[in-house]
Amino acid sequence: GAVVSQHPSRVICKSGTSVKIECRSLDFQATTMFWYRQFPKQSLMLMATSNEGSKATYEQGVEKDKFLINHASLTLSTLTVTSAHPEDSSFYICSARSINTDTQYFGPGTRLTVL
Amino acid sequence: GESVGLHLPTLSVQEGDNSIINCAYSNSASDYFIWYKQESGKGPQFIIDIRSNMDKRQGQRVTVLLNKTVKHLSLQIAATQPGDSAVYFCAENMDAGNMLTFGGGTRLMVKP
């Protein structure tokens, strides 16, 4: 149980394009999903908290117009990196928390490389 | 600001030995702690959690100890195996089940 998937697992794109990453909870309903970014050899940094049916809450320093988050259902949240630039290259990881637990379960991550 | 941190960035142990990974936290109001394992190129994997009303919790080959007096958390891995090689993060829950704050991570290397 508590499986979270992400798609795609890896994406390479040209500078200026937009990239959408999907996060799905496969066997539970997630009232809250979280998006993290992780640079090499560093810890996870929370970008935003997403609650189903409402606007995401962004951490300080994270541009909400650049990182668009949609949490349209209890099993799906999407992160769109708009007009991506090389400095956006990173490992993006989502997590999901079910209704009945405080534990966050993580997806496998998406490696974004912007050329 | 308050944060979660780790004492040792890298821990090298012999296969079969026990491993102890430590974590210090500074927010005395935190009431929930989680240990995650992250292998290269993968997302964090839940290992074990503990609430502040407990001092110890055991899982399969893993034990988490919580010392609230000195704000210290540890993860003990018994009979460490090569498959245990990974980066281990402690995470602190600061908002009743919502936001997690992660420590810097400790890399565990298991020597055959």
Q: What is the DSSP letter of B9?
A: S
Residue bearing tokens 């997806």: A107
How is residue B19 written in tokens?
Answer: 């491993």
In this predicted structure, the answer to whether residue A1 has a pLDDT above a threshold of 70 is no
B93 close contact with A: CB closer than 8 A? yes
Residues 23-52 of B with CB under 8 A from A: 32, 34, 36, 41-46, 49
Q: Around Cβ A24, how many Cβ atoms within 10 Å?
A: 19
Say what the pLDDT of residue B2 is.
36
Phi, psi of A29 (to 5 degrees): -95, 130
Rg (C-alpha) for chain B, rounded Å, is: 13
Distance between CA B100 and CA B76 in Å, rounded? 21
| Beta-sheet strand order (sheet of B62-67) | B4-5, B19-25, B72-77, B62-67, B56-58
Cross-chain Cβ contact B100/A93 below 8 Å: no
Say what the pLDDT of residue A11 is.
96
Strands (E), chain A: 4-7, 10-13, 19-25, 30-38, 45-51, 57-58, 67-73, 76-81, 90-98, 104-106, 110-114
pLDDT along chain B (112 residues), means of 10: 52 96 88 93 94 94 95 96 96 73 90 90
Residue bearing tokens 């195996």: B81
Closest CA in chain B for residue A112: B41
B8 closest CA partner among B75, B106, B92, B86: B106
Distance between CA B24 and CA A75 in Å, rounded? 34
Per-residue pLDDT tens digits for A25-74: 998 988 899 999 998 888 899 999 998 888 899 999 999 999 999 988 89
Per-residue pLDDT tens digits for A87-105: 999 999 999 988 777 788 9
